[in-house]
Homo-oligomer: A and B are copies of this chain.
Amino acid sequence: MRIALLGGTGDIGEGLALRFARDTGHEILIGSRDPEKARDAVAEYEGALADRTDEVDIKGFANEMAADRADVVILSVPPYYVGDTVDTVADNLDSDTVLVTPAVGMQGDEDGLHYHPPEAGSVTQLVAQRAPDGVPVVGAFHNLAADALSTLENDLDLDTLVVADDDAAADTVLTVANEIEGLRALEAGPLANAAEVESVTPLVINIAKYNEEMHDVGVKWIDGSD
């Protein structure tokens, strides 16, 4: 499968690119508005991956080209670019492409970060509104600790939640997410449930801020009846 990370030069894009490249057999496409920047990032990621895996299949492209070639397109751009990025690649998406959004709208003040969703209810639902008709949208990879992800020495033990209205698209994302070592993907229902998933992101940052011993906070969902 081909997995594109649009904005794949940013922090969450870097972490996902490195983990997918190391732990899965998928072809990884790094997208950027500037293809030169994408290729520079690829060179850097190849360096980080050297000696960690036998074969690295990772290439850099402009966002449109990366989206055009991919089966799964992950919008790893800041929340205020998400809508525009969807518009930019709209002609390169079709009903066979799964469009994945990990972005979260937040506002900060002296107390910490607060969840600040767009009018659509969540960034995930905003992406669903902006995506071309028939392109399945999935919310995933929201609450990951980006630094922990991109530091390959770290053994992960984290969960990610998946929301989607399209069951097949959800299954695709659950499968590739679970292929990352130490990452467990769980379902959280339809896109209408995205706000509660997204609002965990400011919370993990607040927990890191207020607990000295914690630095890069992620989450595990525990079955308390075990």
Contacts and interface: CB of A to CB of B under 8 A. Distances in A.
A112 interface: yes
Contact of A207 (B112, B161, B207): B161
Contacts of A192: 109, 111-112, 114
B221 A225 contact: no
B223 A189 contact: no
A49 interface: no
Contacts of A214: 186, 221, 223
A225 B189 contact: no
Contact of A225 (B114, B115, B216, B220): B216
Given A217-B221, A222-B219, A224-B217, A112 B203 contact: no
Contact of A188 (B197, B203, B216): B203
A144 B113 CA distance: 23
Interface residues of A, number: 51
A219 B216 contact: no
A189 B207 CA distance: 8
Interface in A162-217: 186-190, 192-193, 195-197, 199-200, 202-204, 206-207, 209-211, 213-217
Given A111-B192, A193-B206, A196-B203, A225 B145 contact: yes
Contacts of A158: 222, 224
B219 A223 contact: no
A157 B207 CA distance: 18
Given A186-B210, A193-B203, 9 more contacts: A109-B192, A111-B190, A111-B192, A112-B193, A115-B195, A213-B223, A218-B221, A219-B219, A219-B220
Contacts of A190: 111-112
Contacts of A114: 192-193, 195-196
A88 interface: no
A196 B202 contact: yes
A68 interface: no
Given A196-B206, A206-B196, A211 B187 contact: yes
5 contacts: A109-B192, A112-B192, A186-B211, A214-B223, A218-B221
